[in-house]
Amino acid sequence: MEGSGVGGSESGSMSTVSWEDNMVVSSEDSSCPDESDLELGLGLSLGGKTGGFKMHQLSKGGQFSRILTAKDFPSVISAASPSSSSSSSSSSLSRANVTAGTKRTADSVAAANGSSQVVGWPPIRAYRMNSMVNQEKNMATEGFNSTMVNHKSETSMVEKTTAGIGKYQNNGNIKLRKSLFVKVNMDGIPIGRKVDLNAHESYEKLAKTLEDMFLKTTSSVNPAGSMTLELGVMKKITRPSKLLDGSSDFVLTYEDKEGDWMLVGDVPWEMFLSSVKRLRIMRTSEATGLAPQLQERNQRQRSKHN
């Protein structure tokens, strides 16, 4: 394509630049677009907690990490353990280019999240990230326990498909449930999980899910917080959960909106949902601050059984 263009001066200069294939520009229409369509989804799993996402941003104080260069990745050059690279989120400010714009939001949100932050990495378009952020806000403002009031009197879908839908009969209409994902960590296990609290209707069911997740060795458990209604009615619990009755080495605790750690099970379920931020399966020996409630509960239960 280059070089030997016969003809006038125009063709001579033209030949060094090739007029390339007619590539469709749109990202969706063509299966082989010339450019990337990398996009970002952010934090659906942060759930619909009002202000949960925003609190993250505030607490990080809007700091942005500096751009990490090859120099920051000795692991890349020396093939040593690469784990250092992921934790090197620097707090010093050296933002390359200023001013917020829709595209910049991607990095500010990323930085706010607190995990390893490199500008423009992973390579996901700011557009997708922003649309996910908007989704978060929509879910948050509507509240995660929204009872949608509906006055329609026609037959509901629920009655048609009771087997699948389960317990959501309400004014003859489907009550759409938003998910409420919270993190769950267990002492001694470095990697946590997430569970959809709105997919459970009681402490018993939640504890059962968590036991399946953390206390069983096989991996044949439900995906964390699977919220598909087709899974239907929760199986009947035949025995009280170990996590709740204090008979195991672990207790289930949660952090509430004020930052206090509380024992799970003391307040009504709905109230719990409105104040829980995250869960922790704590070693009983460590639950000293909560011990009084724990002992009280144990005494209550023992006296029940007597």
Partner 1 sequence: MESSELKRSKDSVNSCESARRSSFPDEVLERVLSLLKSHRDRSSVSLVCKDWYNAERWSRTHVFIGNCYSVSPEIVARRFPRIRSVTLKGKPRFSDFNLVPENWGADIHAWLVVFAAEYPFLEELRLKRMAISDESLEFLAVSFPNFKALSLLSCDGFSTNGLAAIATHCKNLTELDIQENGIDDIGGSWLSCFPESFTTLEVLNFANLTSDINFDALEKLVGRCKSMRVLKLNRSVSLEQLQRLLVNAPQLAELGTGLFSQELTIREYEELESALSNCKNMHTLSGLWDATGIYLPALYLACTHLTFLNLSYAALQSVELAKLLAHCPQLKRLWVLDTVEDKGLEAVGLNCPLLEELRVFPADPFDDEIVHGVTEAGFVAVSFGCPRLHYVLYFCRQMTNAAVATIVQNCPDFTHFRLCIMNPGQPDYLTNEPMDEAFGAVVRTCTKLQRLSVSGLLTDLTFEYIGRYAKNLETLSVAFAGRSDWGMQCVLGGCPKLRKLEIRDCPFGNAALLSGLEKYESMRSLWMSACNVTMNGCRLLAREMPWLNVEVMKEDGSDDSQADKVYVYRSIAGPRRDAPPSVLTL
Binding range to partner 1, per CB under 8 A, among 201-209, 218-226, 245-253, 259-267: 218-226
Give the one residue of 51, 58, 62, 96 binding partner 1; rule: CB under 8 A: 96
Minimum Å distance from CB 75 to partner 1?
Answer: 5
Minimum Å distance from CB 66 to partner 1?
Answer: 9
Size of the site for partner 1 (CB under 8 A): 112
Q: Do residues 45 and 140 make contact, with C-beta atoms less than 8 angstroms apart?
A: no
Minimum Å distance from CB 22 to partner 1?
Answer: 5
Minimum Å distance from CB 253 to partner 1?
Answer: 18
Return the structure tokens found at 277: 């931020």
String of contacts with partner 1 for each residue 167-206, x by CB under 8 A: -----xxxxx------x-x-----xxxx------------
Q: How far apart are CA 79 and CA 229, in angstroms?
A: 47
The smaller minimum CB distance to partner 1, of residues 230 and 260, is found at: 230
Q: If 0-12 CB within 10 Å is exposed, 13-18 middle and 19+ buried, where does residue 70 land? A: exposed
Residue closest to 121 by CA, chosen among 111, 112, 130, 131: 111
Is there binding between residue 82 and partner 1 (CB under 8 A)?
Answer: yes
Residue closest to 96 by CA, chosen among 64, 70, 73: 64
Minimum Å distance from CB 35 to partner 1?
Answer: 6
Minimum Å distance from CB 202 to partner 1?
Answer: 21
Three-state DSSP at 264 gives coil
Q: How far apart are CA 174 and CA 148, in angstroms?
A: 9
Please list every residue from 251 through 280 that binds partner 1, using CB under 8 A: none
Please list every residue from 20 through 79 that binds partner 1, using CB under 8 A: 20-23, 25-28, 31-32, 34-46, 67-70, 73, 75-77, 79
Contacts of 300 (CB under 8 A, 6+ apart): none
Q: What angle (nearest 5°) sits at the alpha carbon of residue 109, between those of residues 107 and 111?
A: 65
Please list every residue from 1 through 20 that binds partner 1, using CB under 8 A: 1-2, 4-8, 10-11, 13-20
The smaller minimum CB distance to partner 1, of residues 82 and 240, is found at: 82
Is there binding between residue 90 and partner 1 (CB under 8 A)?
Answer: no
Minimum Å distance from CB 284 to partner 1?
Answer: 24
The smaller minimum CB distance to partner 1, of residues 69 and 303, is found at: 69
Please list every residue from 97 through 156 that binds partner 1, using CB under 8 A: 97, 99, 101-104, 106-107, 109-110, 113, 115-128, 131-132, 134-135, 148, 150, 152, 154-156
Residue closest to 198 by CA, chosen among 276, 280, 113, 282: 276
CA-to-CA separations, 293 to 210, 247, 289, in angstroms, rounded: 21, 14, 9
Minimum Å distance from CB 243 to partner 1?
Answer: 19
Tell me whether the omega of the peptide bond preceding residue 122 falls within 30 degrees of 0, making it cis: yes
The smaller minimum CB distance to partner 1, of residues 183 and 257, is found at: 183
Residue closest to 121 by CA, chosen among 176, 51, 56, 68: 68
Can you say how many angstroms the Cα of residue 31 is from the centroid of all Cα atoms in its chain? 30
Q: How far apart are CA 260 and CA 83, in angstroms?
A: 32
